[in-house]
Structure 1
Amino acid sequence: MTPIKGMLAAIYDTLFTLTPQGTVEPGLASNHAVGPDGLTWTISLRPNVTFSDGHRSTRPR
């Protein structure tokens, strides 16, 4: 990992993380589904995810 990537990983959460073994693990995402076309992804966030300012993440209605 480059120093920049290490710094960003320490500051920001991501939807998924890549382990040193190359497997993908959930981060902010609780689960995901890929559509039949392979282009459309539906990603569910963990409950109570907040932005850095403390506001809760909400889905558009």
Structure 2
Amino acid sequence: MEEDLKTPLPRRFYFRSPAKIRAIVEKVGSFADLQDRQALDYGLETGRGGVWLQLTEEQYKRLKTPR
């Protein structure tokens, strides 16, 4: 991670299906609590939101490299 700890990736990912987003969230780790699940649901309903990724150094290098 860069010094600012908020480094944007060189590309964005958009998903058309809320179910796909929920599946990804479930796969990478369960929600910490009900509030997290409700926040995700609210974001999906309003079409807004973002996430913080916890990446290994290798994952970060792969995402940082433009394709």
What interval of TM-score do these two structures reach, taking the shorter chain for normalisation? Answer: under 0.3
Q: TM-score, normalised by structure 1?
A: 0.26
Structure ranking higher on relative contact order (CA contacts 8 Å, 6+ apart) = 2
Greater helix content: 2
